[in-house]
Amino acid sequence: MNRLEFLRAVPVTARGVGLAAAGAVLLLAGWQWGYPELVAIGAAAVLACVAAASVIAAKPSLDVDRSIQPDRVSVGESATVALEVRNTGRFRAVNARAVDAYGGPTHATRRVAVPLARLRPGKSANATYPITAERRGVVDAGPLGIGKRDILGLAATAGSFGPSARLWVHPRLWNLARTPDGLARSLEGTADKVEQGSLTFHSLREYVIGDELRHVHWRTSARIGQLMVKEHVDTSLPTVVVALDDRPEAWQIDGSQASPRASGPDAFEAACEAAYSILTACFRAEYHAALVPASGGAVSGAGRDAYGDLLAELACDAAESLDAYVARLTSGRFGDTLVWITGAEPPTARLAALKRAYPVVIAVHLAPDLPTSAALVGGLPFLRAADGEQFAAAWDGGGTSL
């Protein structure tokens, strides 16, 4: 049972403090002056406070199970929180006020009342409520807060029960009809897939159950004392790298005026939508993909949820400089097709230098009121748009520039 202990000290309400003080005064006055009526009234008041404290001090024994379905959604979608509260005590029924809360760094905290009246020993109560994903981010639901108050309102206490659960809100998804074709392009603009002889060594990773033993790199495994497996990639398909510049100065979030057109948080949300849409299009085309933000935490060769989770957690607070970010992309060589997404005017000179490591480089500039366009600038495809929807239109309408 995952349960947090109730507060050790029983909080007494203002009404309880007043009644206890009045009862003590009446007891002393009746005893001092010989008035049994005052003594009886004072004793009744004190006994009422003691009874309230004894009722509140009894800790309920509760087991709370929580789930969120689905646990990953995109902006505009909804998830459902399901709660099951079971009274694991033997004798005492639970009659309390239960409130569940959910929120996160980008979501205001909201509270939902959970019906929990006369929950008898061994019985359980179920409750559900929806969460509407209004913004990208991470939402934590729980733990369940339960408050107790005696019938006279003399004492009250509260505690938390059960685990919390996390909901990842991925960026809004725009379905893209086109994908960057990278190095293996045909004259018709689609990727040529080579059926044989296209696999090449990519890296070593730890062995997991299900891997073929013929892929084990025995020399490295013997040296480090742990089974290591050779990982291969299909070189006939492009590897698309989404470089999301999440430095605050790139989006004018810190108030700087490096560019006459300020981007702001809304434009960064559009950038996350663009990155998520490109990665999803790559998955549909069975391309290899990597997400490399300036803040670190690069994800490559993982499932789509891993990319969405990283985008949900990005806060546009990268401390890395532009030069360091470009140097990391150059040395890393995460793929062959680079999509650079920023809120400032793309650094043309640095992007041209990146072509030494990435033969195909596409620049995406997102800012409010920016006219939608897709054109070649200095030999590089440049896309400009004001939001995610216009980016999707520019991306699909870019013609041969992509």
pLDDT grade for 262, boundaries at 50, 70 and 90: very low
Q: What is the pLDDT of residue 339?
A: 94
- Spatial CB neighbours of 147, under 8 Å, sequence gap ≥ 6: 96, 97, 98, 99, 156, 157, 158
Q: What is the pLDDT of residue 257?
A: 39
Residue 9 has pLDDT above 70, yes or no: no
pLDDT grade for 283, boundaries at 50, 70 and 90: confident
Residues in the chain: 402
Q: What is the pLDDT of residue 56?
A: 66
Residue 313 has pLDDT above 80, yes or no: yes
CATH architecture of 236-401: 3-Layer(aba) Sandwich (3.40)
Lowest mean pLDDT among 180-194, 261-275, 349-363: 180-194
Mean pLDDT of 219-231: 84
Could you give the 3-state DSSP secondary structure of residue 293?
A: coil
The enclosing H or E element of 308 equals: helix 304-313
Among 256, 265, 284, 283, which Cα is nearest to 387's?
Answer: 265
Among 153, 164, 310, which Cα is nearest to 242's?
Answer: 310
Structure tokens at 347: 């650094």
Helix axis angle, 265-284 to 304-313, nearest 10°: 170
Lowest mean pLDDT among 233-237, 283-287, 320-324: 233-237
More confident residue, 35 or 156: 35
- Residue 233: Cβ within 10 Å count: 16
Among 60, 68, 59, 308, which Cα is nearest to 164's?
Answer: 68
Among 243, 259, 241, which Cα is nearest to 251's?
Answer: 259
Q: How far apart are CA 261 and CA 365, in angstroms?
A: 11
More confident residue, 274 or 297: 274
* Per-residue pLDDT tens digits for 73-123: 999 999 999 999 888 877 777 767 788 999 988 788 899 888 777 778 888
Q: What are phi and psi of 310, to 5 degrees?
A: -65, -40
Q: Are 85 and 125 in contact (CB under 8 A)?
A: yes
Rg (CA), the chain: 31
* Per-residue pLDDT tens digits for 183-216: 433 333 434 433 333 445 556 778 777 677 878 8
Q: How far apart are CA 47 and CA 55, in angstroms?
A: 12
pLDDT grade for 171, boundaries at 50, 70 and 90: very high
pLDDT grade for 168, boundaries at 50, 70 and 90: very high
Going from the C-alpha of 268 to that of each of 166, 247, 274, 310, 366, the distances in angstroms are 23, 10, 10, 14, 8
Residue type, 157: T
Q: How far apart are CA 363 and CA 348, in angstroms?
A: 9
Among 246, 296, 248, 297, which Cα is nearest to 272's?
Answer: 246
Q: How far apart are CA 75 and CA 134, in angstroms?
A: 6
Q: Are 221 and 270 in contact (CB under 8 A)?
A: no
More confident residue, 15 or 308: 308
**Cα-to-chain-centroid distance, residue 257:** 30
Lowest mean pLDDT among 4-13, 57-66, 232-241: 4-13
Average pLDDT of every residue of the chain: 80
Residues paired with 241 in a beta bridge: 290, 338
- Spatial CB neighbours of 188, under 8 Å, sequence gap ≥ 6: none
Q: How far apart are CA 324 and CA 304, in angstroms?
A: 27
CA dihedral for 118, 123, 129, 133, sign (positive or negative): positive
More confident residue, 164 or 96: 164
Mean pLDDT of 22-51: 83
DSSP labels, 153-166? SSBEEEEEES--EE
- Spatial CB neighbours of 33, under 8 Å, sequence gap ≥ 6: none
Cα(first)–Cα(last) distance of the chain, in Å? 56
Q: Are 291 and 275 in contact (CB under 8 A)?
A: yes
* Exposure letters 139-161 (e unless 16+ CB within 10 A, then b): bbbbbbbbebbbeeebbbbebbb
For the chain, what percentages of helix, strand and coil (3-state, to nearest 5) are there? Answer: 30, 30, 40
CATH class of 62-169: mainly beta
Pairing of strands 337-342, 288-291: unpaired
Q: What is the pLDDT of residue 255?
A: 45
